[in-house]
Structure 1
Amino acid sequence: MESSPEVAVAQGLLSGVVEENIAVWRGIPYAAPPVGELRWRAPQPPTSWQGVLQADRFGAASWQNRDFCKNLAGGDPGAFSEDCLYLNVWSPVERQGALPVMVWLHGGGFTLGSGGLPPYDGRRLAARGVVLVTVNYRLGHLGFFAHPSLEEETPVNNFALLDQIAALRWVQENIAAFGGDRDNVTLFGESAGARSVLSLLASPLAKGLFHKACVQSGYTLADTPREQALRKGVALATHFGLENASAAQLRALPADAFWSLAAPHNIAPVPICGDSVLPQPMLETFFAAQQHPLPVLVGSNSDEASVLAYFGVSLEAQIAKLRRERRLGLGLIRLLYPGVREDRELGRQVCRDMAFTTLGFVVMQAQQRINQPCWRYWFDYVAEAERETYANGAWHGNEVPYVFDTLRLTEPACQYVTPDDLAFASQVADYWARFAHYQPGTPPVLEGPVRWWASLRGRERLLRIGLDKRAGFKLENRFMRARMQLFKRVMKHHVSLE
Structure 2
Amino acid sequence: MINDSRVRIKTAEGELRGSVEDDISVFRGIPYAAPPVGPLRWRAPAAVDPWQQLRDATQWGNSSWQNREYCLAAGGGDPGVFSEDCLYLNVWTPDVQPTQPLPVMVWIHGGGFTIGAGGLAPYSGAPLASRGVVLVTLNYRLGHLGFFAHPALDAEYASGEVINNFALLDQIAALQWVQRNIAAFGGDSANVTIMGESSGGRSVLSLFCSPLAEGLFHKGIVQSAYSLPDMPRNKALKMGEAVASHFSLSGATAEQLRAIPAENFWPLEHPLAPGPVPIAGDRVLPVASLKTFNRARQHKCPLMIGSNSDEASVLAFFGVDAAQSIAMIRRQHKLAWRVIKWLYPAADDESLGRQVARDIAFTTMGYVAAMAQHRAGVPGWRYYFDYVSENARDLYPDGTWHGNEVPYVLDTLNSMNAGSDRPFTANDRQFAWQVSEYWLNFARNVTPHSRHITGEVAWPAWHPARDSTLRFGDFHLADIRIEKDFMKRRMQIFRLMMRTLVRLN
Q: TM-score w.r.t. structure 2 length?
A: 0.95
Separation in 1, partners of 2:420, 2:477: 18
Paired position in structure 2 for 1:82:
84
Paired position in structure 2 for 1:463:
470
SS of the residue aligned with 1:16? strand
Paired position in structure 2 for 1:217:
224
Separation in 2, partners of 1:483, 1:122: 36
Q: In 2, are the aligned partners of 1:372 and 1:456 still within 8 Å (CA)?
A: no
Give the aligned residue type for 2:25: A
Separation in 2, partners of 1:285, 1:422: 38
1:193 is matched with which residue: 192, 196, 200? 200
Q: In 2, are the aligned partners of 1:73 and 1:112 still within 8 Å (CA)?
A: yes
Paired position in structure 2 for 1:131:
134
Separation in 1, partners of 2:145, 2:433: 37
Give the aligned residue type for 1:385: N
Once the two structures are superposed, what CA deviation does each residue of 1:395-417 show, in whole Å capped at 9, x if it has no partner? 00000000111111125796511
CA-CA distance at 1:442 after TM superposition = 5.3
Paired position in structure 2 for 1:170:
177
SS of the residue aligned with 2:93? strand
Residue 453 (structure 2) pairs with residue 446 (structure 1): yes
Paired position in structure 2 for 1:480:
487
Separation in 2, partners of 1:422, 1:447: 20
The 1:270/1:441 distance shift into structure 2, 3 A limit, reads closer
Paired position in structure 1 for 2:108:
105
Give the aligned residue type for 1:472: D
| Structure 2 unaligned spans of 5+ | none
SS of the residue aligned with 2:6? coil
CA-CA distance at 1:45 after TM superposition = 0.9
Q: How does 1:54-453 map to 2 (within 5 A)?
A: 54-93=56-95, 95-154=98-157, 155-326=162-333, 328-338=335-345, 340-410=346-416, 415=421, 416-440=423-447, 443-453=450-460
| Structure 1 unaligned spans of 5+ | none
Q: In 1, are the aligned partners of 2:218 and 2:301 still within 8 Å (CA)?
A: yes
CA-CA distance at 1:179 after TM superposition = 0.5
Q: In 2, are the aligned partners of 1:408 and 1:414 still within 8 Å (CA)?
A: no
CA-CA distance at 1:268 after TM superposition = 3.5
Separation in 2, partners of 1:267, 1:244: 20
SS of the residue aligned with 1:320? helix
The 1:377/1:269 distance shift into structure 2, 3 A limit, reads closer
Q: Give the paired residue count.
A: 494
Q: In 1, are the aligned partners of 2:71 and 2:77 still within 8 Å (CA)?
A: yes
Q: What root-mean-square deviation, in Å, do the aligned CA atoms of Structure 1 and Structure 2 show?
A: 1.5
Separation in 2, partners of 1:488, 1:365: 11
The 1:284/1:327 distance shift into structure 2, 3 A limit, reads farther
Q: In 1, are the aligned partners of 2:108 and 2:200 still within 8 Å (CA)?
A: yes
SS of the residue aligned with 1:5? strand
CA-CA distance at 1:262 after TM superposition = 3.5
CA-CA distance at 1:57 after TM superposition = 0.8
Separation in 2, partners of 1:333, 1:104: 36
SS of the residue aligned with 2:347? coil
Q: In 2, are the aligned partners of 1:393 and 1:469 still within 8 Å (CA)?
A: no
SS of the residue aligned with 1:33? coil
CA-CA distance at 1:326 after TM superposition = 3.8
Once the two structures are superposed, what CA deviation does each residue of 1:335-366 show, in whole Å capped at 9, x if it has no partner? 2112x321110000000001000000000000
Give the aligned residue type for 1:381: Y
Once the two structures are superposed, what CA deviation does each residue of 1:422-469 show, in whole Å capped at 9, x if it has no partner? 111111111100100124155422222211111136331100001134
Separation in 1, partners of 2:393, 2:361: 24
The 1:492/1:413 distance shift into structure 2, 3 A limit, reads farther
Q: In 1, are the aligned partners of 2:230 and 2:278 still within 8 Å (CA)?
A: yes
Q: In 2, are the aligned partners of 1:371 and 1:457 still within 8 Å (CA)?
A: no
Paired position in structure 2 for 1:12:
14
The 1:359/1:97 distance shift into structure 2, 3 A limit, reads same
Q: TM-score w.r.t. structure 1 length?
A: 0.97
SS of the residue aligned with 2:269? coil
Give the aligned residue type for 2:56: Q
Q: In 2, are the aligned partners of 1:371 and 1:456 still within 8 Å (CA)?
A: no
Give the aligned residue type for 1:461: S
Q: In 1, are the aligned partners of 2:379 and 2:448 still within 8 Å (CA)?
A: no
SS of the residue aligned with 2:370? helix
